[in-house]
Amino acid sequence: MPVADQPPPSEDATPELLAELAEASQRLESAEPDEIIRWAVERYGSKLTMATAFGPEGCLILHWLASIAPETYVFNLETGYQFKETLEL
């Protein structure tokens, strides 16, 4: 069952959760970026969010995420170095 359909976990990581994440980390180590994003979307469902400061890497991840799960909530990390036009978006 996807985590998004389960009650919120406790603040402590359970051995089962740690094992699941270790397995996923190992499996995704050589995966393509879109496969990693698909895993995150399937694993976290509507709880998945993305933080970005609109740097090159963030924009590329946003592009992939928008093509896979456009409903994902994205929020800006205000760095103090963004152009006024960026902040107006």
- Write out the DSSP string of 22-89: HHHHHHHTT--HHHHHHHHHHHHGGG-EEEE---HHHHHHHHHHHHH-TT-EEEE---S-S-HHHHT-
The whole-number average pLDDT for the span 24-51 is: 96
The pLDDT score that the predictor gives to residue 12 is 75
**pTM of the complete model:** 0.74
Over residues 6-35, the pLDDT tens digits come to 555 555 788 999 999 999 999 999 999 999
| Residue 82: pLDDT band with limits 50, 70, 90 | confident
Closest CA to 77 of 46, 44, 52: 52
